[in-house]
Chain A
């Protein structure tokens, strides 16, 4: 369905329906990592990478293994009478693919850049439970995107998430130096900040594409 051009997908994912400020996806790591700019950038890049790969892998699995179409691999390989409808396995299949991908990315980063691996620490395995990754995979299917659109959506959604993360980290570094009421220190003020930024991003919803 070519209803959304790539440009529209990009602007929509980064600004209009930003994954953090509008869709509420990827909040947990957002709160945990956005304390320093460096780890925010590192986490953001890892998320972009995983999101793009995950979009690719999950789209392929959905198209060739889960959908009851004549291209279904099980239908072809086992010469079944009719294409099997395995859509109910979507959640399980997707999350397992994502978990394996993250494991793989973690190994690659460990080998190629030990310093980056050190700084990301616990956050890498946490990307698995990042709702944004599974979220973008499910959204691709729900929006009936083709392969190119799905991959692009994954890429730009990751960019939007990284944007939110970097904005937040920059502000939080300053926030730590400010006199904040004791009860609001840490996570509460981070959320209030996110709320104010979400209001700003709400301004984009008037964009007519």
Chain B
């Protein structure tokens, strides 16, 4: 696969959220506003890229039996870096993301890519894969956040878009709305996929 394809697959063909059903916990929790979605997406992308790079560098020297705990330590280290940096430089974002920042360490996407890809591919490809998957994840979060914030709050990035007459459909920013929106979007992507395959 060419590097460009490697990068782009994370957006549609192998989108972690919409196609691979990975990383669902943070997706539901932080998509109640676009700002949270972007923040979480970029944090996860940073961890994914860094851990993919390190895992790819050490892949020849890691004994197969204990590779999972080693990957976990690598990932946890970068998560701690992101956690502390965010708390220092973006305290409001850190507060609204809450426990989901340290929970990036158990985000199935990151361990999944380390195991399935970075452990078997060279540095450049692992970097591209991490970047593509991470940005694809961010893309999915933004789509979800867009729908939820617009319908549930009447705003986009905090700016009132729908005007004063609009009654926000509150349920969209509450937990049930997350489930419903994600379910419908997943269905939409499935439908889109069958349509594209027919052509």
Taking beta carbons and an 8 Å cutoff, which residues of A are in contact with B? 21-28, 31, 88-92, 95-96, 99, 128-131, 134-135, 138-139, 142, 181-184, 187-196, 198-199, 202
- Of the candidate stretches B34-42, B50-58, B148-156, B170-178, the one touching chain A is B170-178
With A25-B103, A191-B183 already in contact, 13 other A-B pairs whose C-beta atoms are closer than 8 Å: A24-B26, A91-B80, A92-B80, A95-B72, A95-B106, A128-B106, A134-B105, A183-B187, A183-B194, A188-B186, A195-B180, A196-B176, A199-B176
Point out the residue from B79, B103, B191 that lies within 8 Å of A131, measured CB to CB. Answer: B103
Measured between beta carbons, the chain A residues less than 8 angstroms from B103 are 25, 131, 134-135, 138
Contact B102–A194 (Cβ < 8 Å): no
Q: Which of B17-25, B119-127, B160-168 is the interface stretch?
A: B17-25
B residues less than 8 Å from A134 (CB atoms): 102-103, 105-106
State whether B79 touches A91 (Cβ < 8 A).
Answer: yes
CB of B84 to closest CB in A, whole Å:
6
Contact yes or no, A24 B178, CB < 8 A: yes
Q: A183-B191, A191-B179 are in contact. Are A90 and B25 (CB under 8 A)?
A: no
* Chain A residues positioned under 8 Å from B22 (CB to CB): 28
What is the distance, in angstroms, from B42's C-beta to the closest C-beta of chain A? 18
CA distance A195 to B190 in the complex (A): 19
Taken together as a complex, chains A and B put the C-alpha atoms of A129 and B113 apart, in Å, by 14
- Given the contacts A24-B28, A28-B108, A198 and B79 also touching, CB distance less than 8 Å: no
On whether the beta carbons of B102 and A192 are closer than 8 Å, the reply is no
Mostly, the A contact residues are helix
Kindly list chain B residues whose C-beta atoms are within 8 Å of the C-beta of A183: 187-188, 190-191, 194
Query: Is B92 in contact with chain A by the CB < 8 A criterion?
Result: no
Interface size on B, residues (CB 8 A): 42
B187→A199 contact, CB < 8 A: no
Interface 0/1 of B96-137, CB less than 8 Å to A: 000100110111100100000000000000000000000000
A28 to B108, CA, bound (A): 8
B77, B177, B184 — most chain A CB neighbours (10 Å):
B184
A195 partner residues in chain B, CB cutoff 8 A: 176-180, 183
Q: How far is the CA of A139 from the CA of B103 in the complex (A)?
A: 11
**In-complex Cβ contact of B106 among A129, A139, A142, A198 (8 A):** A129
B182 within 8 A of A: yes
* Residue B63 is within 8 A (CB to CB) of chain A in the complex: no
**Whole-angstrom distance between the Cβ of A154 and the nearest chain B Cβ:** 15
Whether, in the assembled complex, B6 has its beta carbon less than 8 Å from a beta carbon of chain A, the answer is no
Contact A202 B176 (CB under 8 A): yes
Q: Is the CB of B184 within 8 A of A22?
A: no
13 residue pairs of the A-B complex, CB under 8 angstroms, read A27-B25, A27-B28, A92-B77, A99-B68, A130-B106, A131-B106, A184-B187, A187-B186, A189-B183, A191-B186, A192-B180, A194-B183, A198-B176
In the bound assembly, the distance between CA atoms of A130 and B105 in angstroms comes to 10
Are A92 and B73 closer than 8 Å at their CB atoms?
A: yes
Pick the contact of A192: B73, B107, B183 (CB < 8 A): B183
> Nearest chain-B residue to A141 (Cβ)?
B99
Q: Given contacts A22-B175, A24-B29, are A91 and B76 in contact (CB under 8 A)?
A: yes
Among A90, A129, A182, residue most surrounded by chain B Cβ atoms (within 10 Å): A129
| Cβ contacts under 8 Å, A138 to chain B | 99, 102-103
Identify the 10 closest CB pairs spanning chains A and B, nearest first. Answer: A191-B183, A195-B179, A195-B180, A183-B191, A192-B183, A198-B176, A188-B187, A188-B186, A92-B76, A183-B190
Chain A residues positioned under 8 Å from B108 (CB to CB): 28, 129
CB distance from A164 to the nearest CB of B (A): 12
Q: Which residue of A lies closest to B171 (CB)?
A: A199
